[in-house]
Amino acid sequence: MNLKRSKSLVWLLWLIPLAFLLVFFYQPLLAIFRQVFSERFSQGWQFISWPQITKPLGFTLWQALLSTFFTLLIGLPAAYLFARFDFPGRKTLRSISLLPFILPTVVVATAFNSLIGPKGWLNLILMNLFNLNNPPVNLLNSIPAIVLAHVFFNTSIVIRMVGNSLSRLNPHYDEAARVLNASPWQAFREVSLPLLLPSILGASLLVFLFDFTSFGVVLMLGGPQFATLEVEIYNQAMNRFNLPMAGLLSVVQLAFTLLITTIQNRLNKPRFGKAALSSETKTLKKPKTKWQRFFVVFMVIILIILFVSPILSLVSRSLVTFEAARGERGNVETGFTLRYYTELFKNTSGSIFYANPLAAIRNSLVYSLLTMLIATTLGLLTAYALYNSNKANRWLEPLFMLPLGASPVILGLGFLISFNQPPWTSGPYPILIPIAHSLIALPFVVRTILPALQSIPNSLREAASVMSAKPFRVFLEVDLPILLRAIIVSLAFSFTISLGEFGASSFLANARTPTIPVTIFRYLSHPGALNYGQALAMSTLLLITSALGSLLIEKIRLPGEELF
Amino acid sequence: MFKKVFPILFVLIFGLSACQPATQNQGSSENPRELTIMTHDSFSISAELVSKYEADHQVKLTFIQGGDAGSALNRLVLTSGENNMPEADVFYGLDNTFLSRGLEQDLFEPYQAENSDAIPENFKLDPENRVTPIDFGDVCINYDKAWFADNNLELPTSLKDLANPMYRNLLVVENPATSSPGLSFLMATIAEFGENGYLDFWQSLNDNGLTVVSDWETAYYTNFSGSSGKGPQPMVVSYASSPAAELIYAETELSESPTGSLVAPGMCWRQIEFAGILKNTANRDLAEDFIDFLLSRDFQEDMPMQMFVYPVLPEATLPEGFVRASQIPESVATLDSALIAERRDLWVNDWTNLILK
């Protein structure tokens, strides 16, 4: 579908996603700003104190840069590992790497604590080994803890987005360059890198924006002495009731998001490299040379330490009881238990808001299926519109990235004043929730599909057109098979984003049909060993649901795709 | 092309639908009127009591959980302009630190509940009856019994004791700027040491190895050694009812709670929660009935096990586990609510500048 010549069709492609954003993003945002600032316009702007803005802004930028750097440092080799090498456990490890993405921050904080906290495994082992009296590693409440958690959360973005491009990159190009006497580095720099650059820049941008607007990680793992813009917005709005200040900070955050996106947009002039396609299986090979074997083993160990150990410690903690009764020394029971899971099925207090775990899983699945549908459809349309873009609508692109920079607190309040009447918030499954989730997922989907679209050689389409195929047929026969991997990655992203999302769900969901993260928080907000255990058990169920879901999604195949 | 996968997903979803308890639409009458109650996300009530109330009053109750207490109040303020229909008829969950903000915004219609005479006077903070006190809870320091026993350490008996070097590195508190128990504990120290002395006290706490975290969940489950998270500090700012919850939600039946509360005079801060009828409600009569219900013995006795708070109604009896493990402090710290409204931001700012900078 090369639409370069029919401008009206391009505008039609823009129309649906643009309308979606106007109604569900820009409209509520403007509504809240109008309400928040109208009072202040008449009173003057003396309420602004600049250090209150510049200080959190400086810290936010700094920690985001640091976190993005380390995420790329691990993510890029990991993406290469998964895209190029075939090794036992590859698929499992790849699926596990997506899991951190969905975990609520408080659960990750718990998992990290059981690993690197003062009484975590790491310290216990070190104290035993070296006969120390005090825990030697103290990472909680520090910048390294923030960076580590950001790397843990966001590496999967790099693995998926860059890996997706890498696996479609024809390795023969590289080999051809080598035959022409290029060094491996030259071959990489001159051939592979330019082709990969759009997806690397796209992934970095998303990671940066995620770190830039980070809230829970900074609050819970960084501790109270660190405040990002988002933390300060929450504090001003919810604790100080200083909505004008919160609104102003969120304008600053939006402006920076726009600035960063625009800069990236200018840097990323895609050369429409028509890398010949290759199906994924062909690019995979067993590690042969010594270096390749070392690389694979090294990376697998790093990824296991980073992803598998916190998740394992979380899962194991939901199955083991420690010192059941610290009140009574004599009666200590330690060992395997399924009690936390069986208790999930009991409504001990008879509460009206109780939801059994299967109902919570179903509620979450309803929202995530709707999100997959909305986000992927809109994302495809947007990607096509951007692909066929001319100068006039090229500047529209950052508008689609802006939802990532919007403060959930401010947007949530905007939603409330714009959509507080039925049908938006009523019924067991308020439609506003998958819409909010789609706003978050949309930039991912666009960034994943667009590079794939740009890699389709025009010759293929022209060939199809010459054979007088209708545009839709060209899409089905030419574009779709090539885009399929990117679409699947998009589906998996929107599925997991929706599954793990807590903020909007807790704000807007019907209290009687809570999602999994909402039930986790309900257990964690009460004292008691059983509540704690049940929160961990529920987190494990969230992990399993997500793993099964993304495995199913990755199973999607076109009929006859193997022949391609 | 998606043929293989989607049938599986749909079977999953509809299969799981069968697991939902049939709670919706069990009203016997054709079209009961509807009453909407806005609360915060810690609110809970037993399903049995709701069904009984709905049947008795021919009404359908809808609860909106508007986030934490601050979010829920913000939500009300934003959605209740003069031209707007209020999102709910009743609000439940305004506490004494937020009280004046709620009253300033003119959100409520006055109503004197049927048995308001039975409520002790010290709970009634609004003489105009725009809001009615329903429950209270005390923010106190919890301690790890086993830790104190193992280390042969005496318990602190006043806030001042906490600055004693024998309690070095033992206390974790929540940031008052981001946590409601954290704010309550700050209030307790201001009540104890006065506006001129509380910062000196905090300085001495800080010098004595104070740990500050952002929220209750982290403080209790990550830092506190008495919880299942088994952190490093044996004292945490939590609620006087937390030891009862540890007992009731223990893994095995315990003879006593693994934690206790420090309830010496001046060490605890009392949070009182209020409910009120929202302005411009179209269901004033139903809302009045509901406020009366909140003060009825049925609800007042249901509350402790649902939300781990205490009933304001003196004649309400407490569940056995509650009586066994939670202590009600004899005298609690208090501050004038108008003073709180005026100075809260200043106090929190000064505290932040001293402790977190």
pLDDT digits (tens, 9 = 90+) for B175-219: 998 888 999 999 999 999 999 999 999 999 999 999 999 889 889
pLDDT band, very low/low/confident/very high, at B81 (cuts 50, 70, 90)? low
Please give the share of chain A, as a percent, with pLDDT higher than 70: 87
Asked if residue A521 lies in contact with residue A106, where contact means CB atoms within 8 angstroms, the answer is yes
A524 in contact with chain B, both atoms CB, cutoff 8 A: yes
Residue A162 or residue A175, greater confidence = A162
What is the least distance, in Å, from the CA of B143 to any CA of chain A? 12
Across residues A195-207, what is the average pLDDT? Answer: 86
Contact yes or no for B231 and A350 at CB 8 A = no
C-alpha B210/C-alpha B203 separation (Å) is: 9
Contact yes or no for A353 and B214 at CB 8 A = no
What is the least distance, in Å, from the CA of B54 to any CA of chain A? 13
The percent of chain A in helix, strand and coil, each rounded to the nearest 5, is 75, 0, 25
Residue in chain B closest to A526 (alpha carbons) equals B245
A39 in contact with chain B, both atoms CB, cutoff 8 A: no
Judge if B31-135+273-318 and B138-270+325-355 fold alike in CATH terms.
yes
C-alpha A59/C-alpha A358 separation (Å) is: 42
Please give the share of chain B, as a percent, with pLDDT higher than 90: 53
Q: What is the dihedral of CA B236, B237, B241, B245, to 10 degrees?
A: -40
C-alpha A348/C-alpha A354 separation (Å) is: 9
C-alpha A350/C-alpha B301 separation (Å) is: 13
Contact yes or no for A530 and B23 at CB 8 A = no
Which of the residue ranges A6-10, A418-422, B332-336 has the most confident prediction, judged by mean pLDDT? B332-336
pLDDT band, very low/low/confident/very high, at A549 (cuts 50, 70, 90)? confident
Which of the residue ranges A93-97, B4-8, B63-67, B89-93 has the most confident prediction, judged by mean pLDDT? B89-93
Among A473, A475, A495, which Cα is nearest to A483's?
A: A475
What is the least distance, in Å, from the CA of B36 to any CA of chain A? 12
* pTM assigned to the model: 0.84
Whether residue A231 is predicted with pLDDT greater than 90 in this model: the reply is: no
C-alpha B142/C-alpha B259 separation (Å) is: 6
pLDDT attached to residue A6: 58
Q: What is the phi/psi pair of residue B95, to 5°? A: -110, 175
pLDDT attached to residue A43: 63
- For residue B270, the SS3 value is strand
Helix or strand run (H / E) with residue B35: strand B33-39
Determine the residue among A146, A238, A515, A539 to mutate to test chain B binding: the one whose Cβ has the most chain B Cβ atoms within 10 Å: A238
Residue in chain A closest to B302 (alpha carbons) equals A349
Contact yes or no for B24 and A428 at CB 8 A = yes
Q: What is the phi/psi pair of residue B265, to 5°? A: -55, 135
Determine the residue among B36, B43, B95, B221 to mutate to test chain A binding: the one whose Cβ has the most chain A Cβ atoms within 10 Å: B221
Among A243-252, A360-369, B51-60, B260-269, which stretch is predicted with the lowest mean pLDDT? A243-252
My answer on whether omega of the bond before A171 falls inside 30° of 0, hence cis, is no
pLDDT attached to residue A364: 93
Contact yes or no for A106 and B217 at CB 8 A = yes
Among A263-267, A270-274, A490-494, which stretch is predicted with the lowest mean pLDDT? A270-274
Contact yes or no for A110 and B345 at CB 8 A = no
Contact yes or no for A219 and B215 at CB 8 A = yes
Give strand pairing partners of B278.
B108
Give strand pairing partners of B64.
B38
Residues 57..76 of A with a Cβ closer than 8 Å to B: which?
none
Which of the residue ranges A278-282, B28-32, B313-317 has the most confident prediction, judged by mean pLDDT? B313-317
pLDDT band, very low/low/confident/very high, at A328 (cuts 50, 70, 90)? very low
Q: DSSP H helical segments within B62-119, as ranges? A: 69-79, 99-104
Whether residue B80 is predicted with pLDDT greater than 80 in this model: the reply is: no
pLDDT attached to residue A247: 87
Residue A547's CB: how many other CB atoms inside 10 A? 17
pLDDT attached to residue B294: 96
What is the least distance, in Å, from the CA of A250 to any CA of chain B? 17
Whether residue A433 is predicted with pLDDT greater than 70 in this model: the reply is: yes
- For residue B37, the SS3 value is strand
Among A453, A461, A380, which Cα is nearest to A1's?
A: A461
Structure tokens at A196: 């990969």
pLDDT attached to residue A57: 92
A558 in contact with chain B, both atoms CB, cutoff 8 A: yes
Among A365, A526, A268, which Cα is nearest to B244's?
A: A526
Residue in chain A closest to B40 (alpha carbons) equals A507
Which of the residue ranges A313-317, A465-469, B105-109 has the most confident prediction, judged by mean pLDDT? B105-109
Domain boundary assignment for chain B: 31-135+273-318, 138-270+325-355
Tokens 């320091």 sit on residue: B141
Contact yes or no for B13 and A369 at CB 8 A = yes
What is the least distance, in Å, from the CA of A50 to any CA of chain B? 16
What is the least distance, in Å, from the CA of A503 to any CA of chain B? 9
A557 in contact with chain B, both atoms CB, cutoff 8 A: yes
Among A5-9, A63-67, A416-420, A455-459, which stretch is predicted with the lowest mean pLDDT? A5-9
Residue in chain A closest to B38 (alpha carbons) equals A511
pLDDT attached to residue B70: 76
Contact yes or no for A238 and B226 at CB 8 A = no
A34 in contact with chain B, both atoms CB, cutoff 8 A: no
User: pLDDT for B53-73, tens place per residue?
Assistant: 999 999 999 998 877 777 788
What is the least distance, in Å, from the CA of A471 to any CA of chain B? 19
A233 in contact with chain B, both atoms CB, cutoff 8 A: no
C-alpha B24/C-alpha B54 separation (Å) is: 12
pLDDT attached to residue B55: 94
C-alpha A296/C-alpha A281 separation (Å) is: 18
Contact yes or no for B345 and A524 at CB 8 A = no
A162 in contact with chain B, both atoms CB, cutoff 8 A: no
Contacts of B243 in chain A (CB under 8 A): 527
Across residues B337-344, what is the average pLDDT? Answer: 86
pLDDT band, very low/low/confident/very high, at A119 (cuts 50, 70, 90)? low
B65 Cα distance to chain centroid? 14
Residue in chain A closest to B212 (alpha carbons) equals A224
A458 Cα distance to chain centroid? 32
Among A69-73, A121-125, A319-323, B153-157, which stretch is predicted with the lowest mean pLDDT? A319-323
pLDDT attached to residue B267: 94
Contacts of A119 in chain B (CB under 8 A): 230-232
Q: Is the dihedral of CA A232, B208, A136, A324 positive or negative?
A: negative
Residue A352's CB: how many other CB atoms inside 10 A? 21
Tokens 């990750």 sit on residue: A108
Contacts of A239 in chain B (CB under 8 A): 70, 177-178, 183, 348
Contact yes or no for A224 and B249 at CB 8 A = no
What is the least distance, in Å, from the CA of B197 to any CA of chain A? 23
Write the CB contacts of B81 (distance below 8 Å, at least 6 apart in sequence): none
pLDDT attached to residue B238: 95
Whether residue A69 is predicted with pLDDT greater than 90 in this model: the reply is: yes
Contact yes or no for B45 and A141 at CB 8 A = no
Domains of chain A: 7-26+49-317+354-563 (1.10.3720.10)
Write down the mean pLDDT value for chain A.
81
Contacts of A28 in chain B (CB under 8 A): none
Residue B160 or residue A83, greater confidence = B160
Across residues A34-48, what is the average pLDDT? Answer: 68
C-alpha A347/C-alpha B67 separation (Å) is: 22
Round to the nearest angstrom and report the end-to-end CA distance of chain A.
20
Per CATH, domain B31-135+273-318 is 2.40.50.100: no
Whether residue B131 is predicted with pLDDT greater than 90 in this model: the reply is: yes
Angle at Cα B100 formed by Cα B133 and Cα B94, nearest 5°? 40
CATH architecture, domain defined by B138-270+325-355: 3-Layer(aba) Sandwich (3.40)
A5 Cα distance to chain centroid? 36
Contact yes or no for A365 and B254 at CB 8 A = no
Determine the residue among B61, B62, B218, B259 to mutate to test chain A binding: the one whose Cβ has the most chain A Cβ atoms within 10 Å: B218
Count CB pairs under 8 A between chains A and B. 224
What is the least distance, in Å, from the CA of A432 to any CA of chain B? 15
pLDDT attached to residue A392: 55
Among A179-188, A286-295, A427-436, B34-43, which stretch is predicted with the lowest mean pLDDT? A179-188
pLDDT attached to residue A327: 43
Determine the residue among B24, B74, B302 to mutate to test chain A binding: the one whose Cβ has the most chain A Cβ atoms within 10 Å: B74
Which of the residue ranges A433-437, B155-159, B225-229 has the most confident prediction, judged by mean pLDDT? B155-159
pLDDT attached to residue A245: 85
Among A525, A17, A352, A231, which Cα is nearest to B48's?
A: A352
pLDDT attached to residue A125: 81
